Structure 1
Amino acid sequence: MAGIAAKRMKARSLAMVIGHTIHLYGASRQQFLSDIEWVRHEACHVLQYREYGIFRFLYLYIREYLRHGYVDNSFEVAARAAEADQHLLDRFEIH
C-alpha cells in the first residue's frame, strides 16, 4: 500500500502507518530511523490510531482528506507539528 501511495503522491520514498506499524517504501529502516523528524511524524500517526482505533481513524482521515486535501488534513497538520516534539518518542519502544 505504501508503494501505491508513493506513486500517487509522486514520492520517491514514503512511510505509511497502518495501526501500530510503519510501512516504508523507497527508504530503508536505517534511512527512516536516521531522520528524527520523519520518525516523529509517523509516530504521531501511530498515536492517532491508538486514540481513535483503526476503523474510526481511517474513516476520519479519509473524510479530512476529501474535505481539505492532504496538506490541510488535520491529522497531517498535527503530525507535522509533532516533528518538533522532542519527547514524543519517549512513549514508544522502537523495534
Structure 2
Amino acid sequence: MDYKIVENSSFARVARMVLKSDNVAMVLGKSIHLSGVTKEVFLKNKAWLAHECCHIRQFQQYGFFKFLWLYLVESIKVGYYQNKFEVEARQAETELS
C-alpha cells in the first residue's frame, strides 16, 4: 500500500486534544499523520498500522471529500467509537492474527 507518514502533524495534534489522547494517528487521503508517537514506534505496532491502512482504503473507496463528509456525518449520528468506519478499521486490527 502506498502511503506517507507525517510526524508531529498539526492535524493529529488537534485530534489528540479533541480525543484527550496521549498519542494519535489519523489519515488524510494517503497520509498517516502522527502526534505523540514516532514513526518508528507506530510502524512497530502492526495492529495500529492495519487500522490506519484501512482508513486509507476507505479514502480510496469513497474519494477524499466524500469520505470526510461521510465520516463526519457518521460520527455525529452514532459517535466516534460506533462510527462504522472506525468499526471497520478496528476489525482490520484483529484480522492480523
The TM-score, its normalising length taken from structure 2, stands at 0.87
The alignment status of 1:62 with 2:72, answered yes or no, reads yes
* 1:20-31 superposed matches below 5 A: 20-31=30-41
Aligned-pair CA distance for 1:85: 2.4
Q: Deviation per CA, 1:37-94, whole angstroms, max 9, x where unpaired?
A: 00000000000000000000000000000000000000000000000223xxxxxxxx
Quote the residue 1:90 is aligned against.
Answer: none
Segments ≥4 residues shifted beyond 3 Å: none
Partner Cα distance (1:60, 1:12) in 2: 26
Task: Say what the alpha-carbon RMSD is for the aligned residues.
Answer: 1.1
Contiguous gaps of at least 5 residues in structure 1: 87-95
Report the secondary structure of 1:82's partner residue: helix
Partner Cα distance (1:84, 1:66) in 2: 26
* 1:1-95 superposed matches below 5 A: 1-86=11-96
Q: How many residues align?
A: 87
Amino acid in structure 2 at the alignment position of 1:12 = D
Identity %: 43
Contiguous gaps of at least 5 residues in structure 2: 1-10
Q: Deviation per CA, 1:12-46, whole angstroms, max 9, x where unpaired?
A: 10001000110000000011001000000000000
